[in-house]
Amino acid sequence: MTDKNIAAIIVAAGSGSRSGLDTPKQYALLDGKAVLAHSYTALQAHPRIGTIVIAIGAGQEEMARDALASGTGEPILVVGGDTRRASVLAALETLEALGNVDAVLIHDAARPILPAAVIERLVEALGNHHGAIPALPVADTLVQGAGALMADNVERAGLYRVQTPQAFDFATILNAHRTVAADAGVTDDAGLLRALDIPVALVQGDAMLEKLTYPADFARAEVMMMTQRMPRVGSGYDVHRLVEGKPLWLCGIEIPHDRGLSGHSDADVAIHALVDALLGALAEGDIGSHFPPSDPQWKGAESHQFLTFARDRVSARGGEIAHVDITIICEAPKIGPHKDAMRMRLAELLNIPIDRVSVKATTTERLGYTGRKEGIAAQAVATLLLPIL
C-alpha cells in the first residue's frame, strides 16, 4: 500500500444520548480537549494518511471547528444524515469529489485513543484485501438471558469484538454503500462488504480503542490516556543586540522603546527562545536548522511564524503543550506593564489557555551585555505531553 493515497473519515454526527452529557460526546472534553480532536490528531500525525473528512451533525459546524482549532490545517466538514450509514456515504461522496483516493479508513469519533500500530496493521492488510477491520477475541464468558435470569452459555470460540477504524479499498466501499439495501441488517461498514460476499480481513485490535458510550467510560479513558503519554521538557536561550532605528518586538507584541533588536527576522528574542524550547522537547533541532539566517526568505520575518511552526510540529506528533515559561533578561524596558499582553499573545499563538503561559523578567544587576543595555536575552522552558510510541 506504499503507493496508494489513503484518506480517512471520522464519523462524528451522533447525539451521544447515552453518555449523560449536556453536549454530544464527540465535543465533550477528555484530557483537556474535545473527544473528536484526539482521533483527528492521531490520523493527522500518521504519515500514510492524507485527506481527512469529518461527518458532523446538522448545526454542529461551529462546535466542530472549535474542537479542532488546535490541529493543523482547515478541517474538511460534511453534514451527515439521520443514520451512521448516511453520514459515512456523505463523507465518501465528498472524498469522491475531491478525487485521488485509493483507500479509506472509517473511524468513530467516540473511540478517541487511536494507536498508530492499529493503523499500520490495517494499511498492511489492504495490500491483499478489499477490507480490513481491527478486532479483539471475546475473552469473557457469554450467556443468553431469559428475562432477568441466566440461560444457556454461548460458545465464544471464534467470536470477536469489532472496533474502528475499518479500512477499505475506496471504490469497493463506495459501491457497497450505494448498492446494499437499507434493510439488509448491516450494522457497520465491513458488514456491507460481507453482504456482497467480499472477504474482510481481521487484524489485531487494541484495548485502548474502547468506545465511549456511558459516563463511566470517560473516567476510564482519562486514566488510560495518562498511561499513554510521556512528559518531555525542552529549554531555549537566545540573545540579540539592541540597535537604533528598529521596533522592539517581545513575545509577539511591539514594546515602546528607543531601540529595537537586531536580527535576520524581527529578532523577537523571547519567541526565538521559546521555539528552541519546543523543538528541543521534540528533539527536532533548533530554530536555525528550520529557518536558517542565510535564507533570504526569512529576512525581516515576523517571529510568530516560527512559533506556529513549532506548535504545529507538536500537534503533528500527537502531543500537547502543557506549559511554557519565559524569562526575559534586560535592564530596559520595563517588562511588568506588558506581561499580561505578552501572555495573551503567546496563548493565542500556541492555542492553549493563558494559565499555561508564564512570562517573567529579571536583570543582571547591570552586569554583562544586558546590564550595559547592549542587548536583551531570553530563556524559555517548554513542557510537552507526547504519546508513548
Please choose, from the candidates 159, 210, 171, the residue with its C-alpha nearest in 3D space to the C-alpha of residue 35.
210
**Does 285 reside within a domain?**
yes
Question: Which of 169, 199, 226 is the last residue in one of the domains?
Answer: 226
DSSP class of 338: G
- Predicted confidence at residue 221, as pLDDT, reads 86
Question: What CATH number has the domain bearing residue 296?
Answer: 3.30.1330.50
- Predicted confidence at residue 214, as pLDDT, reads 87
165 preceded by a cis bond (ω within 30 of 0): yes
- Predicted confidence at residue 2, as pLDDT, reads 57
Q: Which amino acid is at 65?
A: R
**Does 252 reside within a domain?**
yes
**Does 69 reside within a domain?**
yes
**Does 264 reside within a domain?**
yes
Please tell me whether residues 152 and 275 are part of one structural domain. Answer: no
Please tell me whether residues 137 and 191 are part of one structural domain. Answer: yes
Please tell me whether residues 36 and 175 are part of one structural domain. Answer: yes
DSSP class of 329: E
**Does 74 reside within a domain?**
yes
Residue by residue, DSSP assigns 123-173 as HHHTTT-SEEEEEEE--S-EEEEETTEEEEEE--TT-EEE-S-EEEEHHHH
Please tell me whether residues 201 and 278 are part of one structural domain. Answer: no
Do the beta carbons of residue 375 and residue 239 sit within 8 Å? yes
**Does 1 reside within a domain?**
no
- Predicted confidence at residue 251, as pLDDT, reads 97
Question: What CATH number has the domain bearing residue 29?
Answer: 3.90.550.10
Please tell me whether residues 146 and 213 are part of one structural domain. Answer: yes
- Predicted confidence at residue 342, as pLDDT, reads 97
Sign of the CA dihedral running 336, 338, 344, 347 = negative
Phi then psi for 94, rounded to 5 degrees? -65, -45
Do the beta carbons of residue 235 and residue 280 sit within 8 Å? yes
Q: How many domains does the chain have?
A: 2
Q: Residue 176 half-sphere exposure, CB side, CA atoms within 13 Å?
A: 25
Residues of the chain with pLDDT under 70: 1-3, 15-21, 70-73, 389
Give the angle subtended at the CA of 40 by the CAs of 28 and 201, to the nearest 5°.
115
* Coil, strand or helix at 5: coil
Question: Which of 206, 226, 246 is the last residue in one of the domains?
Answer: 226
Please tell me whether residues 365 and 295 are part of one structural domain. Answer: yes
Please tell me whether residues 214 and 302 are part of one structural domain. Answer: no
- Predicted confidence at residue 20, as pLDDT, reads 55
- CA-CA distance, 35 to 63, in Å (whole number)? 12
How would you class 283 by CB atoms within 10 Å of its CB: exposed for 0-12, middle for 13-18, buried for 19 or more? exposed
Please choose, from the candidates 36, 195, 11, 202, the residue with its C-alpha nearest in 3D space to the C-alpha of residue 108.
11
- Predicted confidence at residue 201, as pLDDT, reads 97
| Residue 234 CA: distances (Å) to CA of 118, 185, 274 | 30, 53, 9
Taking the CA atoms of the chain, what radius of gyration do you get in angstroms? 25
Place of cell 454530544: 24
Do the beta carbons of residue 270 and residue 306 sit within 8 Å? no
Please tell me whether residues 74 and 147 are part of one structural domain. Answer: yes
Containing structural domain, residue 14 = 6-226
- Predicted confidence at residue 387, as pLDDT, reads 80
Please tell me whether residues 211 and 292 are part of one structural domain. Answer: no
**Does 373 reside within a domain?**
yes
Question: Which of 226, 253, 270 is the last residue in one of the domains?
Answer: 226
Please tell me whether residues 285 and 198 are part of one structural domain. Answer: no
Please tell me whether residues 221 and 235 are part of one structural domain. Answer: no
Q: Which amino acid is at 208?
A: M
Please tell me whether residues 365 and 332 are part of one structural domain. Answer: yes
